[in-house]
Amino acid sequence: MDRLDYGGALDEVVERPSRSKSSSKKRKWREIEAIKDKQRLLKELQDIDNSFDFDANTLVL
């Protein structure tokens, strides 16, 4: 009787981790951090000058 070799079959079936999910999560966190940085900068500028009136969308870093 022939013996089945399952070791070779297991080598061929290798699941690769999905990099798109992790990279999209990192990109999303970078976007969130950029928004938070803009908000902090606006708050600091308003603390320095009370007459400072700018929108976060018009602020260019």
| Complete DSSP assignment for 2-18 | PPP-HHHHHHH--PPP-
Flag whether 11 is in a domain: no
**In terms of pTM, does the model score above 0.75?**
no
Which residues constitute the domain of residue 56?
18-61
Above pLDDT 90, what percent of the chain? 23
Cα 61 from Cα 58, distance rounded (Å): 10
* Inside any domain, residue 3: no
Assess if residue 7 is contained within a domain: no
How many domains does the chain divide into?
A: 1
Condensed to tens digits (0 to 9), the pLDDT of residues 5-58 reads 565 555 565 566 666 778 888 999 999 999 999 999 988 988 888 777 766 666
Q: Within the chain, where are the H helices?
A: 6-12, 19-48
Distance in angstroms (rounded) separating the CA atoms of residues 49 and 31:
27
Tokens standing for residue 15: 């699941």
